[in-house]
Amino acid sequence: MAPSQPAFTLPRLYSLFFLSIEPLSALAGAYYAHVHPTTYLSLTHSQISSAPFPTIPSPLPLSTTIALTQLANLYLLFALNEALVLRSTADLRVWRTLLFGLLVADFGHLWSVKALGTGIYWRVWEWNSMAWGNVGFVYVGAAMRMCFLGGVGMGGSVGEKGK
């Protein structure tokens, strides 16, 4: 079955971001969480690229390995929802519902790094690659979702968007 085209006009930026860039990014997160868990943990804890990595036990505790594999599975689900579910429907309600759920998850993801201190949210000059993914990219994703949900670039009035 060929994917249907959205019944609404999907701006190219939304299409590129939600159907390609973000799913690929989520797959990268899944890969690192599952295949390179020590690196994933080290980069998550060390928000400053020049800071020494924390001591990560080797081998990792079984519970940590399981939790990281579960996280990788959730990243995979995230990628599949965007790459496949959104491609398979022309229903704007489905797009809005799925993207709203991901927006809630964005806020939960940002909340999850609060233990690193408030600087993690705004000291971009201190961010390493993981902080750029855990915070910077999440800011971009959340902004894109808020714009989509608010009808930015979709043409027509916001009230017409949900129909």
Q: Per the domain annotation, does 157 fall within a domain? A: no
Position 52 scores a pLDDT of 58
Q: What is the DSSP letter of 20?
A: I
The Cα–Cα gap between 38 and 48 comes to 17
- Phi first, then psi, for residue 48 (nearest 5°) are -105, 125
Position 57 scores a pLDDT of 79
Number of domains comprising the chain: 1
Q: Per the domain annotation, does 4 fall within a domain? A: no
Q: Per the domain annotation, does 160 fall within a domain? A: no
pLDDT tens for the chain, residues 1 to 163:
555 555 678 899 999 999 999 999 999 999 999 999 998 998 888 754 455 556 777 789 999 999 999 999 999 999 999 999 999 998 999 999 999 999 999 999 999 999 888 999 999 999 999 999 999 999 999 999 999 999 999 876 444 444 4
Q: Per the domain annotation, does 1 fall within a domain? A: no
Q: Per the domain annotation, does 2 fall within a domain? A: no
Q: Per the domain annotation, does 7 fall within a domain? A: no
Q: Which residues pair with 127 in a beta bridge?
A: 48
Write the Ramachandran bin of 151: left for phi over 0, alpha for psi from -120 to 50, otherwise beta: left
Q: Per the domain annotation, does 5 fall within a domain? A: no
Q: Domain range spanning residue 44?
A: 12-152
Q: Per the domain annotation, does 163 fall within a domain? A: no
> Do 41 and 56 meet the contact criterion of CB atoms below 8 Å apart?
yes
Position 46 scores a pLDDT of 73
